[in-house]
C-alpha cells in the first residue's frame, strides 16, 4: 500500500511519535529528515522524499528511554528546543525562533497497516488556555489532518485539549507547563 505524503505540522509545541518503555528520556538532536522519518517507520515501511522545515537545528531529534511519555522511542519535533523535553521548562528558555516545525515524507507499507502514537505537549499549558496563544498539532495523511480530538473532531491544541474548557477530553493535564499532555 502506498501513501503519497504524510505531513506533521506544529505551532509552537512539541510532538513526540513512536513505540514503549519507562526510563529517563534521552534526546539526540538531528536535522536529517530521513533519519527522523525512518525512526517513525516500523517493520515493512519504506521512507522516501523526507524533508524537514524548522527555524532552528535544536527543534528536532530522536528520543529513546521514553520515561513518562508512554512509549520508548520516537521523534521529537518542537518550535523550541528538544533539550527542554528532558528536564522541563524555565519559562522563555525553551521557546524557539519559529512558529512551525514540519516533517514531510512519502512512505510505502508492505503490510497495508499504518498507525501512529503521539504525545502533544506545550509550554503554553495551562496559563495560555483560552488565549490567542494556541499551540496545535496536525498529522496529515494525503493532506487531511487525522489527529483530531476524539468525539469533537477539533484540532489537537491547548484550547481543545485541557481541563478548563474540555474536561471530557482524554488529556492528562501536566503538573507544570513542561510535562507532556497525552491523548489516548
Give 133 or 47, the one with higher predicted confidence. 47
Burial group, residue 112, by CB count within 10 angstroms (0-12, 13-18, 19+)? exposed
Q: Distance between CA atoms of 164 and 10, rounded to whole angstroms? A: 22
Residue 41 CA, chain-centre distance (Å), reads 15
What is the separation, in whole angstroms, between the first and last Cα of the chain?
26
Give 92 or 156, the one with higher predicted confidence. 156
pLDDT at 82 over 70: yes
pLDDT at 11 over 70: no
What single DSSP character describes residue 180? P
pLDDT at 124 over 50: yes
pLDDT at 4 over 60: no
Q: Which of 17-31, 69-83, 109-123, 152-166 has the lowest mean pLDDT?
A: 17-31
Average pLDDT, the chain: 74
Please, which pLDDT band fits residue 32 given cuts at 50, 70 and 90?
very high
The pLDDT of 120-148, averaged and rounded, is 85
Give 92 or 128, the one with higher predicted confidence. 128
Q: What pLDDT shows up at residue 68?
A: 74
Residue corresponding to grid cell 491523548: 183
Amino acid at each position: 500500500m502506498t501513501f503519497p505524503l504524510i505531513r506533521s505540522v506544529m505551532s509552537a509545541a512539541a510532538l513526540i511519535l513512536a513505540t514503549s518503555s519507562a526510563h529517563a528520556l534521552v534526546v539526540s538532536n538531528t536535522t536529517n529528515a530521513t533519519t527522523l522519518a525512518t525512526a517513525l517507520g516500523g517493520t515493512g515501511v519504506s521512507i522516501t522524499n523526507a524533508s524537514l522545515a524548522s527555524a532552528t537545528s535544536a527543534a528536532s531529534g530522536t528520543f529513546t528511554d521514553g520515561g513518562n511519555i508512554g512509549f520508548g522511542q520516537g521523534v521529537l519535533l518542537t518550535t523550541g528546543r528538544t533539550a527542554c523535553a528532558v528536564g522541563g521548562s524555565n519559562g522563555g528558555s525553551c521557546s524557539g525562533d519559529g512558529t512551525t516545525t514540519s516533517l514531510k515524507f512519502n512512505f510505502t507499507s508492505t503490510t497495508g497497516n499504518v498507525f501512529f502514537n503521539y504525545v502533544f505537549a506545550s509550554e503554553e499549558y495551562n496559563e495560555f488556555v483560552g488565549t490567542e496563544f494556541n499551540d496545535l498539532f496536525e498529522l496529515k495523511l494525503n493532506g487531511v489532518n487525522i489527529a483530531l480530538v476524539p468525539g469533537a473532531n477539533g484540532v489537537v491544541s491547548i484550547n481543545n485539549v485541557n481541563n478548563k474548557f474540555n474536561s471530557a477530553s482524554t488529556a492528562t493535564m501536566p503538573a507544570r507547563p513542561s510535562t507532556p499532555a497525552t491523548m489516548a
